[in-house]
Amino acid sequence: MKIGITCYPTYGGSGVIATELGKALAERKHEIHFISYRMPMRLTHLQENIFYHEVEVSNYPLFEFPLYSLALTSKLVEVYEFEKLDLIHVHYAIPHSVSAYLAKQILSENKENVKIVTTLHGTDITLVGLEPSFLPLIKFSIEKSDGVTAVSRFLKDKTLTTYNVNREIEVIPNFVDVEVYKPQENCAFKQHFAPNNEKILVHISNFRPVKRVTDVIKVFEIVRNKIPSKLILAGDGPDRTECEKLVRELKIKNDVYFLGKQEAVVDILNASDLFLLPSQSESFGLSALEALACGLPCITTSIGGLPELVIHNETGYLAEIGDVERMAKYAIDLLTNSNKYKKFSENARKRAVEFFNKEKIVSIYEEYYKRILSI
């Protein structure tokens, strides 16, 4: 198949999954064309069967705001026509699925039977899409896509009820490469972060308010008072300054590492003992899945799609939003009970391998594409 993939090319989960899906499909001999305003962040190496098409946005003085949606539409039409694509797969509804629909209408004038698959990732439905100005567009683009997938049952149900959509939505969860994200014995970085064999807690995110990174710090302070421990915070975003301020106020600066945006996620996870994700909204939780694959038990909130990923009292623990005392209690329980920790770690890895491994999920996408193309 020749597949066009449009996504946001940044550090967000939707862009990561879209890029990794494209790479995996290319390994299976499909021809993949990425169409975006910048090279996707995870496209770091030259790979056979992968091509990139940049969407160039004009800065004409008449236009006060960049017209990315329209520029994307034109580029989708161009790539579809000249590369003879079989299907366009857009990740994140706004504006990608709307641009794809416009492209489909233009191409239909030339008798092209364009098939569009839209994958919903989370905030396109639970946050951005709820803006009054976007709500009709989201509903329209979902109903007009030839196929729609969601990364969790939670997100599927949320979409159907919030937008009163009358159509099938396929749940295809996010995935992880379990041959890359896997436990490593004697990680060299661990000694750097914890020279005296302290326990290491870790959080990785884009530091947006919805991630509640300050809760991570509050949990860590309680754990630190009971167990010699360190905290790794990887990522960057609007709440980082507030987090750094809180660390100074709590006088725990020497035990907290702010690493900023990092490519070496596998090394960071393997240097750690426990993953914290106290989000107030999470449609899936890709960073938690990557942690599970590395054998890290996860302590998360019991919201959104997280209960579909983290099994309470098996691969980690679930707690209510903002309940830092309970999260800390769970963390201390795991970190002071080596037998329980070992079992949770094994369960975490097993769950990632059995239910969310790349080979399994990419095969599901292949079958879904074939089904849409046959309509």
Give dist(CA 170, CA 153) in Å, integer.
Answer: 9
Over residues 337-343, mean pLDDT: 97
Report whether 283 contacts 151 (CB < 8 A). yes
Give dist(CA 48, CA 54) in Å, integer.
Answer: 18
Cross-strand bridge partners of residue 274: 201
Give dist(CA 286, CA 27) in Å, integer.
Answer: 22
What's the gap between Cα 10 and its chain centre?
A: 11
SS3 content of the chain, % helix, strand, coil (to 5): 45, 15, 35
For each of the domains in the chain, give its residue range(s) and CATH number, in order of start: 2-175+357-373 (3.40.50.2000), 188-355 (3.40.50.2000)
Give dist(CA 333, CA 355) in Å, integer.
Answer: 27
Respond yes or no on whether the N-terminal peptide bond of residue 95 is cis (omega within 30° of 0): yes
- 109 vs 272 pLDDT, higher one: 272
**Residue 63 has which token pair?**
């236009």
Output the pLDDT for position 130: 55
Nearest to 15 by CA among 144, 122, 104, 163: 122
Nearest to 51 by CA among 37, 69, 39: 39
Q: Per DSSP, which regions of 85-134 are E strands?
A: 87-91, 116-120
Give dist(CA 87, CA 164) in Å, integer.
Answer: 26
Report whether 256 contacts 233 (CB < 8 A). yes
Report whether 49 contacts 31 (CB < 8 A). yes
Q: Per DSSP, which regions of the chain are E strands?
A: 2-6, 31-36, 50-54, 87-91, 116-120, 147-150, 170-171, 199-204, 229-234, 256-260, 274-277, 298-301, 316-319
Give the type of residue at 281: S
Output the pLDDT for position 13: 77
pLDDT digits (tens, 9 = 90+) for 54-77: 998 877 666 666 788 899 999 999
* Phi, psi for residue 64 in degrees, rounded to 5: -70, -30
Cross-strand bridge partners of residue 319: 301
Task: Provide CB contacts within 8 A for 85, sequence distance 6+.
Answer: 2, 3, 4, 33, 79
| pLDDT reading at 7 higher than 80 | yes
- 47 vs 363 pLDDT, higher one: 363
Output the pLDDT for position 129: 46
Give dist(CA 287, CA 321) in Å, integer.
Answer: 18
Report whether 28 contacts 2 (CB < 8 A). no
Task: Provide CB contacts within 8 A for 9, sequence distance 6+.
Answer: 15, 19, 36, 37, 38, 39, 40, 41
Output the pLDDT for position 131: 64
Q: Per DSSP, which regions of 92-251 are E strands?
A: 116-120, 147-150, 170-171, 199-204, 229-234
For the question of whether the overall pTM of this predicted structure is more than 0.75, the answer is yes
**Residue 209 has which token pair?**
């308010």
pLDDT digits (tens, 9 = 90+) for 126-151: 665 456 667 888 888 899 999 999 99
Report whether 95 contacts 72 (CB < 8 A). yes
**Residue 164 has which token pair?**
């009163």
**Residue 189 has which token pair?**
């970085």
279: helix, strand or coil: coil
Q: Per DSSP, which regions of 205-346 are E strands?
A: 229-234, 256-260, 274-277, 298-301, 316-319
**Residue 131 has which token pair?**
């803006």
| pLDDT reading at 23 higher than 80 | yes
| pLDDT reading at 215 higher than 80 | yes
Q: What percent of the chain has pLDDT over 90?
A: 75
